[in-house]
């Protein structure tokens, strides 16, 4: 196998100059830290919609990329879903820090404007139904002709090598076809959709990783490429416990195991009642188990050979679940969590959304950030789970109004004057 010769690192040549930002003090090391972010200077044209693609571009924006969200005249579907004239919180959560350009790609002049933007961009992200870009005469070959360094990132439902390639897909259908629904719920109940949109967000996260890899590879090859991530493929590794349990048991393991371990290979591992709600408790190691026994004042269980190994405990899962539930039921969630976490046993209170929205996940530098919506109303935006020690954290920014940056983008990036932009508006191009 050939590996390219290692080369000295050189700065990426981007399509625009990034102004220097003042330095800050690294909060942990006390050293100078630039306020530039990892992807400063990268320009992303975002054609994506709903959750999958927009989460990819949100992560890119939070890493410093300039993301220009290109929307049809009515806006992307999630903007107005459910609440009509008011921009939805779902849209705000996933589109903070992006510019909004309204552009009619079905009109020849709109297509030409887009290709002019492509010539000055680094990445195009889309998650349209298969074949949509080709029908718009904007497939990868066309984009690469406009800019050989362009990276086209496509979020797909199904991989091109599967029988379902080309089929329409949404999070629900991917959960259905990959086994997520079959492995979610109680053993005696029907298959159940997972609460979160796991396929959309797993796919979007992997798509962001593919973009980052392609940007790096471009520094070696000097050219862009087409990258694809299928939600179907992105979800499958998360089924590791269920797939392993199925294979190791010769297919006899129940598909749905409720709140127990997906492969029924760990015990205790469940959600147990507390005096004021529920707690999740699991003992991954023999040490966890012995510690739990002492906290429950059941040294007899810790010393019992019948429970001395993971397989032995799994064999008596029902009995052990009853014992743990009897102990947790007489205590509050916080008491159980304090005792177990204080002793190093994994445990957490089951929190509802009301608890989450009033808890530590909400805040100016947290994962759910209070912001102002485009119309000035209070709203929220997601923070970034990606924390780079040598990059400034992303600011808390609300989502733009539909077409809010149309004039700025056309003037700054394409050099159009006010009269030309007004003409484009009059002809329903922008």
List residues with catalytic annotation: 200
> What distance in Å separates the CA atoms of residue 200 and residue 235, rounded to the nearest whole number?
9
With both helix axes pointing from N to C terminus, report the angle between 171-178 and 198-221 in degrees, rounded to the nearest 10.
Answer: 90
Burial class, 39, CB count within 10 angstroms (exposed 0-12 / middle 13-18 / buried 19+): buried
Element spanning 208, H or E: helix 198-221
Phi, psi at residue 124, to the nearest 5°? -120, 130
Burial class, 161, CB count within 10 angstroms (exposed 0-12 / middle 13-18 / buried 19+): exposed
> What distance in Å separates the CA atoms of residue 108 and residue 372, rounded to the nearest whole number?
36
Report strand pairing: 277-282 vs 269-274. antiparallel
Nearest to 430 by CA among 155, 106, 37: 106
Nearest to 197 by CA among 227, 234, 233, 171: 171
């Amino acid at each position: 196998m050939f590996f390219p010769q290692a080369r000295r690192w050189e700065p990426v040549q981007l399509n625009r100059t990034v102004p220097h930002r003042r330095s800050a003090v690294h909060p942990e090391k006390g050293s100078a830290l630039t306020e530039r972010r990892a992807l400063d200077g990268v320009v992303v044209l975002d054609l994506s919609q709903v959750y999958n693609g927009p989460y990819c571009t949100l992560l890119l924006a939070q890493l410093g990329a300039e993301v220009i969200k290109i929307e049809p005249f009515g806006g992307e579907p999630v903007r107005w879903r459910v609440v009509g004239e008011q921009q939805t919180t779902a849209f705000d959560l996933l589109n903070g820090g992006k510019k909004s350009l309204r552009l009619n790609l079905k009109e020849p002049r709109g297509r030409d404007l887009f290709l002019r933007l492509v010539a000055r961009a680094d990445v195009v992200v889309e998650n349209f139904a298969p074949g949509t870009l080709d029908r718009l005469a904007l497939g990868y070959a066309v984009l690469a002709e406009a800019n050989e360094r362009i990276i086209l990132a496509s979020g797909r439902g199904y991989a091109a090598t599967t029988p379902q390639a080309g089929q329409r897909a949404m999070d629900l259908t991917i959960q259905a076809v990959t086994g997520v629904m079959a492995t979610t719920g109680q053993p005696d109940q029907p298959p159940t959709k997972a609460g979160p949109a796991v396929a959309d967000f797993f796919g979007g996260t992997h798509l962001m990783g593919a973009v980052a890899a392609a940007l790096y590879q471009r520094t070696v090859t000097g050219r862009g490429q087409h990258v694809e991530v299928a939600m179907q493929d992105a979800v499958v590794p998360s089924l590791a416990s269920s797939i392993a349990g199925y294979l190791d048991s010769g297919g006899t393991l129940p598909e749905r195991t409720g709140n127990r371990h997906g492969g029924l290979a760990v015990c205790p591992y469940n959600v147990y009642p507390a005096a004021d709600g529920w707690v999740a408790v699991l003992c991954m190691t023999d040490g966890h188990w012995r510690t739990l026994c002492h906290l429950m004042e059941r040294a007899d269980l810790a010393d019992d050979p019948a429970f001395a190994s993971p397989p032995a405990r799994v064999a008596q899962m029902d009995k052990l679940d009853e014992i743990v539930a009897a102990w947790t039921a007489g205590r509050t969630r916080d008491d159980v969590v304090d005792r177990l976490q204080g002793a190093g046993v994994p445990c957490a209170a089951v929190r509802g959304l009301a608890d989450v929205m009033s808890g530590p996940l909400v805040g100016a530098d947290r994962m759910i950030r209070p912001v102002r919506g485009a119309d000035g109303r209070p709203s929220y935006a997601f923070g970034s789970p990606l924390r780079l020690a040598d990059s400034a954290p992303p600011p808390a920014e609300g989502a733009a109004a539909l077409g809010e940056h149309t004039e700025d983008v056309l003037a700054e990036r394409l050099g159009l004057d006010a009269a030309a932009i007004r003409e484009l508006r009059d002809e329903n191009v922008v």
